[in-house]
Amino acid sequence: MKIKLTSVYVDDQEKALHFYTEVLGFEKKADFSNGPYRWLTVVSPEEPEGTELQLALNANPAAKAYQQALFQQNQPAAMFFTDDLGADYERMQARGAAFTMRPKDVTGSKIAMVNDTCGNLIQLTQLMRWQG
Is residue 4 classed exposed, middle or buried when 0-12, 13-18 and 19+ CB atoms within 10 A define those classes?
Answer: exposed
Task: Tell me: pLDDT of 121 over 80.
Answer: yes
Q: Where are the domains of the chain?
A: 5-127
Mean pLDDT to the nearest integer, 25-49: 96
- Residue 130: pLDDT band by 50, 70, 90 thresholds? low
pLDDT digits (tens, 9 = 90+) for 46-99: 999 999 999 999 999 999 999 999 999 999 999 999 999 999 999 999 999 999
Picking from 14, 42, 27, 1, the residue whose alpha carbon sits closest to that of residue 118 is 14
Picking from 82, 90, 131, the residue whose alpha carbon sits closest to that of residue 111 is 82
Quote the Cα angle for 95-97-102, to 5°. 125
**Separation of CA 38 from chain center:** 18
Q: Which CATH architecture has domain 5-127?
A: Roll (3.10)
% residues pLDDT > 90 (the chain): 95
